[in-house]
């Protein structure tokens, strides 16, 4: 990262702000760090914390991934892109589908074209567990986005490397369950058996940073993270045990999945993470084995989902996490 110019799309969101702060602290010799977002108020608020007078290599750039001309300008002399911009709320996607398509799908293609035009060296696109076997429009747009980024490696000629990082709900981020609990006294739940993958913002940041330094293009990185039962989380956060059950919302899954059985044929266990490869060519697999000490192909039909996950957050661990965020 040192000596490189980096751009974060959606740079004023929960992840973007935290990752920018992380980069400025860890890598003292970053050439330029560009925060791209469409909200000038959030940029102004972010500047109150990360002041341009203190960080001479920091830039704020108003723009939207829907605008390819603006992207081309923003990506001038950029080496690395972290793509965090997206519309994310599942219910909103069901009622505003075209707006999610414009940002999550067409915006992704705009970014790909602009990165190729500007000879960006590496792109890490953030994905979601909802992109795996999607049943809602948000998940479908993110799956399409993932496919676009992976396919982009085929026509970049190796000059730009595109990779995906896929993970679950970020506990404590804007719009997460804990932020809703903070705002409500009377809380209802959709289903008492619901499970979700869990990752903290700090864990997500470290995962993306690792990906920038280790992924070589075409992969989908899936971390091995714990699950939690939604009922356990809400009981620990509220101190209550009885809740109104309202049923699953439109487009909502009972359990989330990050690797579907159909992905198992090209999925490899590399220790702390899984890698879904675009193919099983000898060249790619041999390269993977040279890069990582422990590489094992998962069994055919393997599925990685929040219900059958071997790792679950204990009630004690859940309470510790809640105390950190509430």
Q: What is the pLDDT of residues 36-85, one digit of tens each?
A: 999 999 999 999 999 888 999 999 999 999 999 999 999 999 999 999 99
User: 299 near 264, Cβ under 8 Å?
Assistant: yes
Residue 101 has what pLDDT?
A: 98
Residue 98 has what pLDDT?
A: 98
Which residues contact residue 80 at a Cβ distance below 8 angstroms, ignoring those fewer than 6 apart? Answer: 1, 4, 5, 6, 7, 120, 121, 122, 123, 124, 212
- Mean pLDDT, range 255-265, rounded to an integer: 97
Q: Measure the CA–CA gap between 43 and 122, rounded to whole angstroms.
A: 25
Pairing status of strand 267-269 against strand 273-276: antiparallel
CA Rg value for the chain: 20
Model confidence at 170, pLDDT cuts 50, 70, 90, reads confident
Q: Where are the beta strands (DSSP E) in the chain?
A: 5-9, 32-37, 58-62, 80-83, 122-128, 161-167, 169-171, 188-189, 195-200, 220-223, 227-229, 244-245, 257-259, 267-269, 273-276, 296-297, 304-305
- Mean pLDDT, range 231-257, rounded to an integer: 87
Q: Measure the CA–CA gap between 247 and 191, rounded to whole angstroms.
A: 6
DSSP structural state of residue 101: I
Share of the chain above pLDDT 90, in %: 77
Per-residue tokens: 58: 């920091």
DSSP structural state of residue 43: H
Model confidence at 158, pLDDT cuts 50, 70, 90, reads confident
Residue of 130, 142, 161, 235 with catalytic role: 130
Q: Measure the CA–CA gap between 238 and 99, rounded to whole angstroms.
A: 35
Higher local confidence (pLDDT), 123 or 232:
123
Instruction: Give the model confidence (pLDDT) of 172-219 as tens digits.
Output: 666 667 666 666 666 778 899 999 999 999 999 999 999 999 999 999
- Mean pLDDT, range 143-156, rounded to an integer: 96
**How many CB atoms neighbour CB 264 within 10 A?**
18
**How many CB atoms neighbour CB 53 within 10 A?**
7
Q: Measure the CA–CA gap between 102 and 120, rounded to whole angstroms.
A: 23
Model confidence at 292, pLDDT cuts 50, 70, 90, reads very high
Q: What is the pTM of this model?
A: 0.94
Nearest to 227 by CA among 296, 299, 305, 165: 305
Residue 243 has what pLDDT?
A: 83
Q: Is residue 134 scored above 80 in pLDDT? A: yes
Q: Does residue 100 sit in helix, strand or coil?
A: helix
Mean per-residue pLDDT over the chain, rounded = 93
**Of the given ranges (31-35, 111-115, 283-287), which has the lowest mean pLDDT?**
283-287
Nearest to 234 by CA among 195, 190, 198, 181: 181
Note the Cα 136 to chain centre separation in Å.
Answer: 17
Instruction: Give the model confidence (pLDDT) of 77-114 as tens digits.
Output: 999 999 999 999 999 999 999 999 999 999 999 999 99
Q: Is residue 171 scored above 80 in pLDDT? A: no
Pairing status of strand 273-276 against strand 220-223: antiparallel
Nearest to 324 by CA among 169, 202, 235: 202
Model confidence at 15, pLDDT cuts 50, 70, 90, reads very high
183 is catalytic: no
Residue 304 has what pLDDT?
A: 98
Per-residue tokens: 32: 């330029």
Which domains does the chain carry? 5-260+303-325 (3.40.50.720)
Residue 172 has what pLDDT?
A: 67
Q: Measure the CA–CA gap between 147 and 320, rounded to whole angstroms.
A: 37
Residue 50 has what pLDDT?
A: 92
Q: Is residue 239 scored above 90 in pLDDT? A: no
Residue 265 has what pLDDT?
A: 96
Residue 242 has what pLDDT?
A: 82
């Amino acid at each position: 990262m040192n000596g490189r110019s980096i751009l974060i799309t959606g740079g004023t969101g929960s992840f973007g702000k935290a990752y920018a702060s992380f980069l400025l602290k860890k890598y003292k010799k970053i050439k330029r760090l560009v925060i791209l977002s469409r909200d000038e108020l959030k940029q102004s608020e972010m500047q109150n914390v990360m002041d341009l007078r203190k960080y001479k290599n920091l830039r704020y750039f108003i723009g939207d991934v829907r605008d390819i001309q603006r992207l081309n300008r923003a990506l001038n002399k950029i080496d690395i892109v972290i793509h965090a911009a997206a519309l994310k709320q599942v219910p909103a996607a069901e009622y505003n589908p075209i707006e999610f398509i414009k940002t999550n799908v067409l915006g992704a293609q705009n970014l790909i074209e602009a990165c190729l035009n500007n000879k960006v060296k590496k792109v890490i696109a953030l994905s979601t567990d909802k992109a795996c076997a999607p049943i809602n429009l948000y998940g479908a747009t993110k799956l399409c986005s993932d496919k676009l980024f992976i396919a982009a490696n085929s026509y970049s000629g190796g000059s730009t490397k595109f990779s995906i990082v896929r993970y679950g709900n970020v506990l404590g981020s804007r719009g997460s369950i804990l932020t809703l609990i903070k705002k409500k006294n009377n809380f209802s739940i959709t289903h008492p058996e619901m499970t979700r993958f869990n990752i903290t913002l700090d864990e997500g940041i470290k995962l993306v940073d690792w990906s920038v330094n280790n992924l070589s293009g075409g992969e989908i990185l899936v971390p091995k993270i714990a699950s939690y039962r939604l009922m356990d989380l809400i009981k620990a956060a509220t101190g209550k045990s009885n809740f109104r059950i309202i049923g699953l919302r439109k487009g909502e899954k009972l359990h989330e999945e990050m690797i579907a059985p159909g992905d198992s044929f090209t999925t490899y266990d590399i220790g702390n993470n899984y890698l879904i490869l675009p193919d099983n060519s000898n060249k790619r697999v041999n390269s993977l084995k040279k890069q990582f000490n422990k590489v094992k192909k998962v069994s055919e039909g393997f599925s990685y989902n929040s219900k059958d996950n071997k790792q679950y957050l204990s009630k004690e661990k859940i309470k510790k996490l809640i105390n950190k965020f509430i």
